[in-house]
Amino acid sequence: MQPISIVGPGAPDLAEPLANRLDGRVAVVDCAGEGERVRRTADSEATDGGVAVGEDRTGAAADTTLALDADGSWTGRGSVDGLDDLLDGLAPDHDYLIAVGDSRLRVSTVLLGADADSQDVPGTVIAAGDGPGEVDLDRLVDDLDAAEPWITRETLVRRVEESADADRAGAVATFTGRVRARDAPDDDRTTHLAFEKYEGVAAERMDAIAAELTERDGVFEVRMHHRTGVVEAGEDIVFVVALAGHRREAFRTVEDGIDRLKDEVPIFKKEATEAEEFWVHRRD
Residue 198 phi, psi (nearest 5): -75, 115
Q: What is the pLDDT of residue 37?
A: 38
Do 27 and 136 reside in the same domain of the chain?
yes
Q: Which of 92, 114, 146 is the last residue of a domain?
A: 146
CB 30 within 8 A of CB 67: yes
Do 134 and 158 reside in the same domain of the chain?
no
Do 242 and 162 reside in the same domain of the chain?
yes
- Pairing of the two strands 171-178 and 236-244: antiparallel
CA–CA dist 126, 111 (Å, integer): 8
Q: Which of 111, 146, 181 is the last residue of a domain?
A: 146
125-183 pLDDT per residue, tens: 999 999 999 999 999 999 999 999 999 999 999 999 999 999 999 999 999 999 999 98
The type of residue at 127 is A
Residues of the chain with pLDDT under 50: 34-60, 73-80
- Pairing of the two strands 219-226 and 236-244: antiparallel
CB 224 within 8 A of CB 153: no
Do 116 and 184 reside in the same domain of the chain?
no
Do 69 and 167 reside in the same domain of the chain?
no
With a threshold of 0.85, does the pTM exceed it? no
Q: Which of 146, 169, 197 is the last residue of a domain?
A: 146
- The domain in which residue 109 lies consists of 2-146
Q: Quick check: helix, strand or coil at residue 270?
A: strand
Do 140 and 7 reside in the same domain of the chain?
yes
Helix (H) / strand (E) element for 217: namely none
Q: What is the pLDDT of residue 54?
A: 37
Do 205 and 243 reside in the same domain of the chain?
yes
Q: What is the pLDDT of residue 284?
A: 59
The type of residue at 85 is D
